[in-house]
Each structure stands twice: as C-alpha cells, then as structure tokens.
Structure 1
Amino acid sequence: MSSRALRRLKGKQRGQEALDMGSLVPGEEQAAEVEEEEGDSAPQPISNSSNQKAKKNKTQKNLSNIYELICEAENEVEKEDTNAVKPEEKGEEGREKSDSGDTEKRIPQAETGAAKSAAVDKVKKKKKKKKKKTTSGDTQEEAAEDIDALLESMEQLGSLTLQSDGCGVAGSRPVLHVEHRNLNPETELKRYFGARAVLGDQRPRQRQRQFHRSTWMTIPKDTWPRFSRPGISMTLLESRAGLQFFTLEHSRDYQQVQFKFMDAVESMDPNNIVALLQMNPYHIDSLLQLSDVSRIQEDQEMARDLIERALYSFECAFHPLFSLTSGTCRLSYQRSENRALYLALYKHMMFLERRGCPRTALEYCRLLLSLDPDGDPLCMLLLIDFLSLRSREYHFLLRLYQEWEVHRNLSQLPNFAFSVALCHFQLSQQEGAEPQERDTHRDKADQLLQYALIMFPGALMPLLDLCTVQPDAAVSAHAFFGHRSQLGQPPALAELVGLYVGRSHMLWREGGVLFWLEQNVAQVLLRVDSNEPLVEDCLNKRKERYQSPSRNIHRHVILSEIKEATSALPLDVTTQPIMGFDPLPPLDSLVSYSRPERPSVGASNESTLSLFFRSLLPNFNLQGGQRPEDDLEVARAGRELNQEVNRLMVAMRDMLANIQFQEPPREDNPDRDEEEWD
C-alpha cells in the first residue's frame, strides 16, 4: 500500500475511532467530544435512550466500516488528488459516512466468523492503545501497524478459503478435473465477443420464463414442453476405493414407452417416433434418434435443441451424490440404460465443437472420460488431443500425456504421437516466453515429430493431400513415404491414421507448421537412408500391433462420421445393422429388463420374406428360438445370410457394370427405316 493511501486510511480510521469512543460515553461527555471534533457543525446532545440505540447500530457497523475503509483506500491509490486533506478532516468525513446509515454495504462472503472476531479484537486493542497514547506520532504508528496486521490476516484467510474450496493451484487438481462454469458455452462466447453481444435481449425475457430446475449442462428454453419426470432415476450401487459407482434405472411406465419406441424404429418411419415424442416429450432415445434425422436433413438448430432437452432430462434425474466435477463418479457402459447419457454428451460435445466452442467441448470430453477412464467406451483419447489443440490448452495436453503415458502407452496412438509434437512446437512459438524455454520446446518438438513420422509413415501423404500441399519428388518417390507404406500398414492402424488425418489436418495448415514439417521430413529421410535401428524397430512394432482393433474404436469411428476412417472399417462391422441410439452395443451387455415376446403367428400369416428365409434356412424362425442356444444359432445364421446377400449384391453390381449393349447394324437406306418404323 502506498504512503498516500496509508495516510488517507489513517485519517478515516481516526474518524471511526472517534465515533466509536463517542458512542461509549453517555450524556454530556459525548456531546463535548463530538463538538470538539466538528466545531460549528456538531450535533446537539442526545438523550440516554437515543444514545443506546446509536451505540447498538454503530457497534454492528464497526467491522463493515473498517473493511470499507480499507477497500476505499485501495481504490483511491491511483486517483490524482491535488488538494491535500488533513487527517482530522478525513476523520470527520469518515464519521459522516458512518452516521449516514448505509445498509447496502455488507462484508463479502469470504469473510468468516474467525476473521470477524480477529478484526474486532484488533480494533479493541487499538482503542486501548489510543487511550494510553497522548502524542499524535505514536497514534499514527500504532494505526499503521494495526492496519498492516489486519491486511495480512485477511490475505492469509483468503488464501486458506480458496484452498479449502478446491480453487487453489491448478496443478494440484486431478487431470480430468471439470469446472461447472466451463460446461456453459456462453462462458466461452463471452470471452470472445463480450457479454453484451452474447446475451443480447435475453435478460428481459427471462422474467417471463416458466420455472425450471437449475442445471449446469443446459439452460432450459421457453419453447420446450412442460417438464415432467419421464421415469428415469439414478441409483448408487457401491462406493469402493474412493470411487462411487452409479447406474440409471427405468420405471415400469418408461419401459413401456421404450418398447413402443422399438416398434417405431422397426417400422422405419420417423413419423411414428414423432408421434411417440409428442406423447412423451422427454423420452431420451426418441430425442437422440430424431436429432440424427434432423441433422441429416440439415436442421442443425433442431438437432442441437433435441440433444439439450435430453441432457436436461438426465440432469434432473441425477443422484444427489453424483458429481460432474469430482472425477470420482463412474457409470458403466455395459448397462443399456447408461449408454444414452454417453451418447447425449458426445453429440452435445460435437455440436459445441462445430459451433466454435472448443474449450467447452474439451470440458465435456473430460467429463466423458472421467465416467469410465479405464474402459473409455467412446474412445475419448482419440479426440481429447484435437480439442486441446483447438482450444490452445497446451499445458493440459502435456500433463495428460506425461501422467498417462506409463500405463496407457499414449505414444502408440497416431493422434497423440503427432499432437504432442505439435503442442511443443506451438509452445515454442508463443510470444513472451524465455529464449531458453522456447529452444527446449523446439528441440522436443523436432524429436517427437521425427519419431511419429518413423513410427507412422503412412500418415504423411494423406495429411499433405488434405492440406492441398504438393510434396517434393524426393519424398513422394521414396519407398518409406510412398504408397507402399499406406498399403502395408495393418487395417487397425489404417483406421486410426485415417481418423487422425481426417479430423486434425486443419491444425497443420497454420503458419509455420508446414515448413517445420518439411524440415523434419528431410531429417527422417536421412535417418532412414542411414539404416538407423529405430526404423527397423518401428517396423516390427507395426507388424505385431494394430491387428485387431477394439470394439470401442469402431464405435468412435462410426460416431465421428469421418469418411477417411469409416472407409477403413472391417466388413463384419459395416454389414451389421447400426442403430443411432445404441451403435455397436458391448458384447457383454447387462440388461435389466427385456422386451416381451410377441404372440406367435400361424403359418398362414407368415410374410413372403419369412417364407423366403425359411426356404433358404430350414431352421429359421421369425419370432426367434425358444432356447438361448437357438437364438445364437439364428443370429449366426442371420449374419451368414446377410454376408451372402451382400456378396450377391456386389456380384450383381459388377455384372451390370460390365454389361455392354451392342447397337444393331444400321443400313444406309433411311427410307427403309422409316417404313419399318411405320
């Protein structure tokens, strides 16, 4: 605090002390002291009853006025004051502020009871010392010491309060820590465009809005139907090793709606789903399915609105102990009731990314990964690096890589191998960093990029192709980066490389990145030509690994809808039916309730398609087998039939494509043709 602010604060403090001491002296003594301070403007002596009331009111405002004096002194440091004011005049000014009875000023919530008592004790000690001191110099020194001690205690208390609330140093938080304010896209949009441009005229309209429950993930809209609990609830299964395991449950009424939804899906008519949603406006699977239909029809606003309505329904059903930010709550993807929450969060995250809110999308990606970090059913590790680079959260990406590399082998994923190198390069280009730090990041970036190019050489040519860059002839003609490297990589690796290149190629178009890539490609070619042992080691790793990708990777590729990755999906995935509300369910799914069997129909009512299947497969039953092994046999036979039909269709398309029609020989006599035509 500056000397000028300290002098002002001392004067106001003396005025406050004079007021407090005057309130403790009854009768004529108080009037005499006040008259001595104020001169001609002193008030008339007051009675004992009014004196007691003033004493009570002024004692209650004692601590708040002290805090106000400190805040005012800090705020006036930067102001230019040409007319110097004496401390006695400032004391009078402070007393007038105290007598004004301003009831709007309050102590901040961060001030606890311990801080209040400590401040009161310091004020009392200061009063006792004031009575003993006679000289003005000693009084000013004591006031300065007390003010400094009070400020120091308040700063210590504020730091302890922040640490207790979990708002301390960011490095002490878990790597998947989620903040509530970052789940709202308006927080990010306000940072870019300002609050006035984002809010607009929303505030007047919020007064007329109907009551909705306060939620973190979505903001209820006036256009939504009136909310009534659809029949979804959350239950705490167990608590183990500091983790809490939850599950979602469906009521009997919701189960009946779910059966009707399955009938509507089998009818292949979206109007049936619309009719079902009109009767049950917060049915989750119907909202997810219609959102996909709206997105295909290029109605992005409706698709996003339906997903937000589903998230609102979920958040209203959360368990009181379920936390979005703690990172200790788990939700198993094996249970069919829980999958809709995963899908709703994923679709909402992708809408946010397309909307231009990558920081908010990154927060939802952390949330999805924290629900099941070991299983990672939607493979958020294939996406979190892209969102971190988009939102320029470089330090978070490096921390995640350092903490998870030991037990997750993140460097074996093409997206992390290239993204971490790009992250170090971006840090080396930041302004304001020290030269030594920038050189360290640049050396690390070169080292990691060269390793990524040696480990995944098949990613270079597709990346340059999507960046519309013509590679050098020495690079394209080299066997290490040529087409042979793309054809020789395993199918699983081709799927991962296509996913990364199709999603992140725009990050490599920024200024200076392609030049940095060109320099490191030249260094890699020198290392390959010199037959370094690392090149042979990476070749053996590519042959041994990436043979059979997991089911969650296929699920992520299907949800991403990136054509460079979907074209690399195996045949057994593309030939089976994929439902938008539950793509590729786990093979070890846990089903809490099953769809009731339909009444059997006679042979006379069997459809033509059923008779056709029965002629091909004598054991085919339209209603399914009576035993589990019969159901498995029917499912296996159905898959084989599906594959045979697909092969037949491919053969028919090839045959029709190769058919060439020959025109009959035409004679030179046109009159004869006209006669024959007549």
Structure 2
Amino acid sequence: MSSRALKRLQQQRLEQQAQELEQESDQESIPDSSSKAQNLFDLLNAGDDDNDDDNDNNDAVSEDERPATPPPVERTPSPAKKSKKKNKKKKGKAKEKPMDDLEALDKAIQEAAAERGQQGESSMPATNTHERRQLLSINYRYLDAEAEMKRMFGSRVVNSESRAVGRVIKRSRLTTPKVDWAPYKNQGLHMELIETVNGVQYFAFKHDETYQDAQLQFLNAVAMHDPNALMFLIQVHPYHVDGLLQVSEMAKQSGDWTVAGDCIERALYACERAFHPHFTFGSGTVRLSYQRAENRSFFLAIFRHIQFLTRRGCWRTAFEFNKLLFSLDPDNDPLGALLSMDSFALSAKEYSYLTRMYKNWKTSGKVYPVDMSDLPNFAFTSAVAQFKLDGCPSGDYTDEGSQMLREALVKFPTVLPNLYSKLGESNNQKLPLSDSAPDVYLDLLETLLVERNHELYKEPEILRWLEENAALVASAVEKQPQRQTQVQCELNKEIPLSVCRHIVLSDIQSLLAYLPSSVTNASFNMYDPLPPADSTTGYDINERIRARGGSGNNPAAANNMFDQLIQTLRGASRARQVPADTVNAIRQMIENMGLYGGGQPGDRLPGAFPEDEDVDAERFHDDEANAAGAEEDADVQRELQELMDGVTEEDLEIQRALAETYDRRNNADSHNEQRE
C-alpha cells in the first residue's frame, strides 16, 4: 500500500471519527458553542508537511490524478429520531476508537515501509519515480524535423519550395502530413487501454475485422513475394501500417529514399490517428508491449523514422524520437533504443540529459547492466558530455569528466585501440590487457560504440584529452586490473534477442558477423524482424481465414476483390465512374477465373489461400503439366496488372482485351486436356 493510499485511508477514518464526536456533542450540549471547531484535516496535513518530499516519487504524472483534499468537516445536526440508547453505546466507544485507528494506521505504515525497504534492496528499479518520468518525457516541440531544419538553415531556405494549397489536414505531433497523401479514413486500426499499474498506463493497438482482412491480404502478398500485390494493397488501403513498412523497405533497397521516408511518415500518421485519448506519449507513463503483434508496427515505424532523420541531419528530432521509442517499453527495450540514446544525445548537444541518464537511470539488470557506468557506450559518451559541460578543461585533468573517462578506460581497455584504428590514427598507444578478446556480447557493445561515436573523437581537443588520460591510467590498469570480461547482466551468455533486432535494423554491416547462428539461420520478414517467442495477438489469424471461407475461392472474397479492383481503376483513370460495360467485363473475367467456386486450384487469383482438400490433392501429373500451370498463373497475373495500368478515360476498349484473354485461356485449357 502506497503512502498516498494510507493518507487517504487516514483521512476517511478521521472524518468518520469527527462525525461520531459531533453526534456526542449534540447529546451532551457543549457550553461554548461560539468557539470555532478545529479542522481535523488541518492537523493531518500539518503532520505531513515534512513528508511531502518523500512522497514525490509516488506521485502520478499529472496533477489531475492527485486526490482532491476533502472539505472541512462542518457541524450538521443529527437526526431527531436517533435512538438515545444507540448513541449511548457509541459514546463509550468513541473515545477509544480514535486511538485504536491511529495505532492500526501506524502499524500499516510500518508494514508498507518494510515492504518498500525490501524492494529497495532488490535490483529492480522503481517503475514510476519522478526522475524516471523526467528522463522519459518527450518535448513535443522538438518532434518536428522541418522546424529543426529551419533553425539550422533558416526559414527562407526551407520554405523555398512553395507550399501547396489544398484541403485542411488534421494536425499531427509525430509527422507533418502532406497534401498529396490520400484522405485519411479509419480502416479499422484502434487503440485500447489494457490496465493502469502504479500510475503507468498500458495500451495496445487493436485491429477490427476490416483491418484484419487487409492484414490477411498483406501476409498473402508477402508470402508470395509479389510486389505488385503489395502495391495494389497500398492503393486500396493507403494507411495500412505493415504494408507501408514493407513498401518503404522495398523503396530503400532500390535507392528511392524519398518514397521510403514518405511511407514511414504515413505509417506514423496512421498510428497517431488511432491513438487512445489518454495515450499521452510525452508524459513517460504510457507503455506498449512488444509481445503484442499489433504494437510492433509502431515500434518499427519509429525506428525507421529515426534512421531517415539522421540522414537529414536532424539530430535533435532523432534524439526525441529515440526517447519515445525507449519510453514505450523501457524495462525490455525491444529494439535496443538505449544503445543509441547516448549517440543521439551527444550529436544533439544534450550533454546535461546524458549525464543525468548516466547517474540516475537503473535498468532491471536483465539485458543491460543495472548501472549505466557498466555499459560501454554510456561509460565513454557520458565522460565526453561531462567534459563538454565542464568547459573542456586542460592541464592535470582532475575534472569530473576526465575521471569518468579514466574509469571507462580501466573497465573497457579494448575500446582504445579499436577507436584509434577507426579514426585512422597512427598512435600505437595501448592499454594492458587490451589484446585479450572479451566476451562476444561485450565485444559487440564495444564495436557498436566505436562505429557510432568515432566521429565525435575527431575534434582535436577531444582526441588530445583521450590520449593524455589513456597515458595516465596505463600504470593503474597494469597494477590493479579492473577490466570487465563480460556484460554485467543476466542474459550475458549470448547476445539477447532485443540487441539482435537492433543490429539487424541498424544496417551496420560490420556488426552482422556478431549475430548468433540461431538468428542467421532463421527466416524472418523486415516488417517484423525476430518476433518474440511468446508473441500474442488480439485475434486468431487462422480463425479469421476460416471465417472468410478458408481461401479466396468464395463469393465473399470475389466481391471484395472486385470492389477493390474497381476502386483502383477509378483512382488510376481519375474518372468519376467506370463505364458499366467495363465493370461487367471485369466481373465476367473474375467469374471465369474460378473465384465464385467450382474452379480448379490453378484458376484462382494468385495469393488465394488453399482449401484443406487441395493440400493432399495431386495438382499436376507430370513436369510438362506443372510448367504449363505455372506459366498460366503468370499470364493471369501479368494480364491483371496490364488491365489495372491500362485503363484511362480515353481507353474504353477493355472489353475486346478481356475477350481475347478469355479466348486464350479457353484454348490453353483445351490444349492441356488434349495432352493429358
């Protein structure tokens, strides 16, 4: 029981005592009725003045969550029909009850204090202290990348391109919506509040049936490695988050960084439009579980957005988004945001934040060391930050930043030669024990530190500071070696899965060699890399498949595909209405492809889910028939794509093309039957 709850309980009991004493006073007729009654809650608050500071760590984020102070107790006349006999029985007990209640409260307070003492002795940190909330809070002002670019280059340069005039777009904190985006329409993505524990609210994204159907189409397109089907899905569902993540990855691989970044921004916009009203992500008290499959898209969208921000040099914005990513699940850190927090803080010149994080943040000790001083990246970068805050002093290096650097060099001596090598320095300065190979997890963290932060050590004053402090600690390392041989955490036998995700997503080629064989031998998709083993979802995907008929071979699926195709044709031709003849021709083509039932497996639209009896059935009798069926499916897919690309306002001869397609298909079927 928290001290706030105990205080509330004590107030309620004192209020009850006051009412009972007033009933007695009415019976006994107190002579001095003109004297003002003393407010018992004033006494209670007076006794708690010294404890206000101690209770700050248990407060919630918002002042609105503080319990309201009860009004002063006023005298109210007791009912006239009260039993005198009953009041006389209460009279004798009323004098003893306050003392008993206070003793009970004291006992409860002592028990609560004992529980807090036991918790303080454990390695688990408090989950909602004032300091942790401050470190996890987000400044909305610095989430705008365009505003940061204006601060760097000036508004005239950034606004050189004329702003398009168009429809009004809903304001967003995470991104800047563009006028050329499709109008947002909620397609079934929502967020729900799961629970509230110790002032921390746990949320989860939720898919309704419409979004679940789109998710099935997305999974089908990914399974078939069909980029055309994926692009078709995005045209129909322009704010499908997983689809946007996958298209962004495709665009990035092809070198189109503009499209890749635009897809990520649209994904963030879609997630923000689905936020719960109480999901105040800037407070540092809202959480999302990475275990929930629907939540992972938001994590990945933030991570990818950070990468695009760094390409633009928006370090302050990237730093705020990195804090946001970390605050969603700081205990587990599923995407390794803590491994890049220090680098972004230094690049954004947030030296004070970095030193506060170094001194005050405590982890659970599962994936990372409990103290930040035992994490290589924080040990070195926090020393640089403190050195900057101290004004880059020179001389005997007795400042706090130099002391922090020497402690880091003693713990992690291998970093120094690796850093010199990365900088291209000819300095052969080494520390004792720096040649021995550390633990693989520790080696990975040290290599990640060098890869991310070596540019910061190119400043002449920083490099000179590093060299001179390394010379000072050389003898100390040799006499009293305190080098860490492994990461001081529970999961240090191999690289944790969350760190593996960070390496896979970071696109640092030199780090891929550290991935264990369990990761390199596994197959995974970039829209959900290395999902947790205990992954959960709000709905059963297989049940949803069965609810839709088990495959694409049913009238409901055909009608859905038909409506989507018509919608796409309208968007492609920019016509208000597709001609009725064209609509009928397309419907006839879909019917002939077997989507309304009775068709053979080879007649289905590419991506349809197979029925149970199709799994055991023998589809092809020999290699020749197998090749013919594969070629036939490819022709159908190619013709559909040509159909979608070719329809314009002037081109209304689609009936002839469909008729030719239908004839070719019938001839091919007849030819196959004759050969069989």
1:345 to 302, 316, 338: 302
Structure 2 CA distance for aligned equivalents of residues 580 and 224 of structure 1? 24
3-state SS in 2 of match to 1:324: coil
Deviates more, 1:194-203 or 1:236-245: 194-203
Structure 1 CA distance for aligned equivalents of residues 289 and 489 of structure 2? 33
Q: Is the 8 A contact 1:295 1:303 kept in 2?
A: yes
Q: Is the 8 A contact 2:441 2:486 kept in 1?
A: no
1:199 to 143, 153, 159: 159
Structure 1 CA distance for aligned equivalents of residues 244 and 363 of structure 2? 40
Residue 606 (structure 1) shift: 8.5
Q: Structure 1 residues 188 and 417 mapped into 2: Cα distance closer, same or farther (>3 Å)?
A: same
Q: Is the 8 A contact 1:178 1:366 kept in 2?
A: yes
Q: Is the 8 A contact 1:235 1:319 kept in 2?
A: yes
3-state SS in 2 of match to 1:447: helix
Q: Structure 1 residues 494 and 243 mapped into 2: Cα distance closer, same or farther (>3 Å)?
A: same
Structure 1 CA distance for aligned equivalents of residues 178 and 511 of structure 2? 37
Residue 481 (structure 1) shift: 2.5
Report the residue type matching 1:568 in the other structure.
Y
Q: Structure 1 residues 174 and 544 mapped into 2: Cα distance closer, same or farther (>3 Å)?
A: closer
1:235-269, Cα deviation, whole Å (9 max, x unpaired): 11122211111111001111111111111111123
3-state SS in 2 of match to 1:271: helix
Q: Is the 8 A contact 1:502 1:565 kept in 2?
A: no
Q: Structure 1 residues 457 and 564 mapped into 2: Cα distance closer, same or farther (>3 Å)?
A: farther
Aligned residue pair count: 421
Q: Which residue number in structure 2 is paired with residue 602 of structure 1?
A: 616
Is 1:568 aligned to residue 514 of structure 2? yes
Whose helix proportion is higher, 1 or 2?
1
3-state SS in 2 of match to 1:572: helix
Is 1:308 aligned to residue 265 of structure 2? yes
Q: CA RMSD in A?
A: 2.7
Residue 329 (structure 1) shift: 1.2
Report the residue type matching 2:142 in the other structure.
N
Is 1:552 aligned to residue 501 of structure 2? no
Q: Is the 8 A contact 1:213 1:316 kept in 2?
A: no
Is 1:323 aligned to residue 265 of structure 2? no
Q: Which residue number in structure 2 is paired with residue 52 of structure 1?
A: none
3-state SS in 2 of match to 1:234: strand
Q: Structure 1 residues 209 and 568 mapped into 2: Cα distance closer, same or farther (>3 Å)?
A: same
1:452-471, Cα deviation, whole Å (9 max, x unpaired): 22222222222212111122
Q: Which residue number in structure 2 is paired with residue 444 of structure 1?
A: 400
Residue 181 (structure 1) shift: 1.4
Residue 224 (structure 1) shift: 1.2
1:198-240, Cα deviation, whole Å (9 max, x unpaired): 223545x3xx221221111111112212221121001111222
1:425 to 366, 373, 387: 387
Q: Structure 1 residues 325 and 462 mapped into 2: Cα distance closer, same or farther (>3 Å)?
A: same
Q: Which residue number in structure 2 is paired with residue 495 of structure 1?
A: 444
3-state SS in 1 of match to 2:518: helix
1:75-154 paired onto structure 2 within 5 Å: none
Structure 2 CA distance for aligned equivalents of residues 256 and 581 of structure 1? 18
Structure 2 CA distance for aligned equivalents of residues 540 and 223 of structure 1? 52
Q: Which residue number in structure 2 is paired with residue 88 of structure 1?
A: none
2:187 to 192, 216, 230: 230
* Higher relative contact order, structure no. (Cα contacts within 8 Å, ≥ 6 residues apart): 2
Q: Which residue number in structure 1 is paired with residue 224 of structure 2?
A: 267
TM-score (norm 1): 0.59
Q: Is the 8 A contact 2:374 2:488 kept in 1?
A: no
Structure 2 CA distance for aligned equivalents of residues 380 and 222 of structure 1? 32
3-state SS in 2 of match to 1:246: strand
1:372-424, Cα deviation, whole Å (9 max, x unpaired): 11121112110110000001000011111121148632122110111111112
1:525 to 464, 474, 477: 474
Q: Is the 8 A contact 1:499 1:557 kept in 2?
A: no
3-state SS in 1 of match to 2:530: coil
TM-score (norm 2): 0.59
1:284-299 paired onto structure 2 within 5 Å: 284-299=241-256
Report the residue type matching 2:334 in the other structure.
P
Q: Is the 8 A contact 1:418 1:452 kept in 2?
A: yes
Q: Which structure 1 segments of 5+ residues have no match?
A: 1-169, 610-678
Q: Which residue number in structure 2 is paired with residue 515 of structure 1?
A: 464
1:623-653, Cα deviation, whole Å (9 max, x unpaired): xxxxxxxxxxxxxxxxxxxxxxxxxxxxxxx
Q: Which residue number in structure 2 is paired with residue 463 of structure 1?
A: 419
Q: For the pair shown, which has the larger CA radius of gyration, 1 or 2?
A: 1
Structure 2 CA distance for aligned equivalents of residues 400 and 344 of structure 1? 25
Structure 1 CA distance for aligned equivalents of residues 451 and 523 of structure 2? 24
Is 1:592 aligned to residue 538 of structure 2? yes
3-state SS in 2 of match to 1:582: coil
Q: Is the 8 A contact 1:578 1:584 kept in 2?
A: yes
Residue 537 (structure 1) shift: 6.0
Q: Which residue number in structure 2 is paired with residue 380 of structure 1?
A: 337
Q: Is the 8 A contact 1:427 1:441 kept in 2?
A: no
Q: Structure 1 residues 370 and 406 mapped into 2: Cα distance closer, same or farther (>3 Å)?
A: closer
1:163-178 paired onto structure 2 within 5 Å: 174-178=134-138
3-state SS in 1 of match to 2:360: helix
2:484 to 523, 538, 554: 538
Is 1:480 aligned to residue 492 of structure 2? no
Residue 550 (structure 1) shift: 1.8
Structure 2 CA distance for aligned equivalents of residues 458 and 576 of structure 1? 31
Structure 2 CA distance for aligned equivalents of residues 381 and 441 of structure 1? 29
Residue 555 (structure 1) shift: 0.9
Q: Structure 1 residues 606 and 360 mapped into 2: Cα distance closer, same or farther (>3 Å)?
A: farther
Q: Structure 1 residues 282 and 521 mapped into 2: Cα distance closer, same or farther (>3 Å)?
A: same
Structure 1 CA distance for aligned equivalents of residues 149 and 425 of structure 2? 33
Report the residue type matching 1:305 in the other structure.
D
Deviates more, 1:262-271 or 1:308-317: 262-271
Residue 523 (structure 1) shift: 2.1
Q: Is the 8 A contact 1:424 1:441 kept in 2?
A: no
Q: Which residue number in structure 2 is paired with residue 14 of structure 1?
A: none
Q: Structure 1 residues 295 and 285 mapped into 2: Cα distance closer, same or farther (>3 Å)?
A: same
Q: Is the 8 A contact 1:496 1:565 kept in 2?
A: no
Q: Is the 8 A contact 2:133 2:284 kept in 1?
A: no
Q: Which structure 2 segments of 5+ residues have no match?
A: 1-129, 365-369, 546-609, 624-676
Residue 524 (structure 1) shift: 2.7
Q: Structure 1 residues 307 and 607 mapped into 2: Cα distance closer, same or farther (>3 Å)?
A: farther
Q: Is the 8 A contact 1:424 1:445 kept in 2?
A: yes
1:46-78, Cα deviation, whole Å (9 max, x unpaired): xxxxxxxxxxxxxxxxxxxxxxxxxxxxxxxxx
Residue 439 (structure 1) shift: 8.4
Q: Is the 8 A contact 1:182 1:363 kept in 2?
A: yes
Q: Structure 1 residues 545 and 514 mapped into 2: Cα distance closer, same or farther (>3 Å)?
A: farther
Aligned-residue identity in percent? 38
Residue 536 (structure 1) shift: 4.6
Q: Structure 1 residues 247 and 173 mapped into 2: Cα distance closer, same or farther (>3 Å)?
A: closer
Is 1:182 aligned to residue 139 of structure 2? no
Structure 2 CA distance for aligned equivalents of residues 378 and 410 of structure 1? 18
Q: Structure 1 residues 334 and 441 mapped into 2: Cα distance closer, same or farther (>3 Å)?
A: farther
Q: Structure 1 residues 173 and 231 mapped into 2: Cα distance closer, same or farther (>3 Å)?
A: closer
Q: Which residue number in structure 1 is paired with residue 525 of structure 2?
A: 579
Structure 2 CA distance for aligned equivalents of residues 320 and 406 of structure 1? 29
Q: Structure 1 residues 242 and 171 mapped into 2: Cα distance closer, same or farther (>3 Å)?
A: closer
